[in-house]
Amino acid sequence: MIQRIATFVLICGTLALSTVLARADDHGCEQDNAPVRFIAYDIFIDAGKAELGAYQIDIHDNARASKVVGVEAGAHEAFADKPPYYDPKALNNEGRIVLAAYSTVEELPTGKTRVARLHMQVCGDVDADFELDLIVAADADGQPITATATATPAEGK
């Protein structure tokens, strides 16, 4: 089991870190002289009745109105120790990041679980339009499971 998880993590980490996130043009707030807002978005994965042991997700803002400025860990014990793996260069690019995480705790989450919180700098009055591509979700043995991913504005802390 641990070997499968380690292999899964190696693959996820390699994909996340090797993803090219740079864009040719920059629509930063400084350039547009637009007002700046900071909004946190919670990233959820719903694994239904399956246990969520690992995931990789590609998140991007179709509106190109935001930049990722921070990444926090999830809520459940399985994903609360540290933020998910991501390429730090993503913090310098417009609204796109690949996150990946795994857990070896005994009690893995089922159902809808907050796996991360993204802190975004949003330029102007345009709202972010997130598209989430759940590349893979797996159980404790590294076996793929059916799951869905969503992003919602964070409430409270």
pLDDT at 92 over 80: no
pLDDT at 7 over 70: no
pLDDT, residue 33, reads 73
Per the CB < 8 A criterion, the answer to whether 33 and 81 are in contact is: no
CATH T-level fold of 2-21+33-153: Immunoglobulin-like (2.60.40)
Lowest mean pLDDT among 25-34, 54-63, 114-123: 25-34
pLDDT tens-digit map of 135-144: 999 999 999 9
pLDDT, residue 26, reads 43
Average pLDDT over residues 114-125: 90
Per the CB < 8 A criterion, the answer to whether 110 and 76 are in contact is: no
> Domain ranges in the chain?
2-21+33-153
Pairing of β 130-138 and β 54-61: antiparallel
Exposure of 112 by Cβ count < 10 A (0-12 exposed, 13-18 middle, 19+ buried)? middle
**What's the half-sphere exposure (Cβ side, CA atoms, 13 Å) at 83?**
14
23 compared with 157, residue with greater pLDDT: 157
What order of strands is seen across the sheet that includes strand 148-153?
Answer: 66-72, 112-123, 36-46, 148-153
Q: Quick one: pLDDT band at residue 37, thresholds 50, 70, 90?
A: confident
pLDDT at 79 over 90: yes
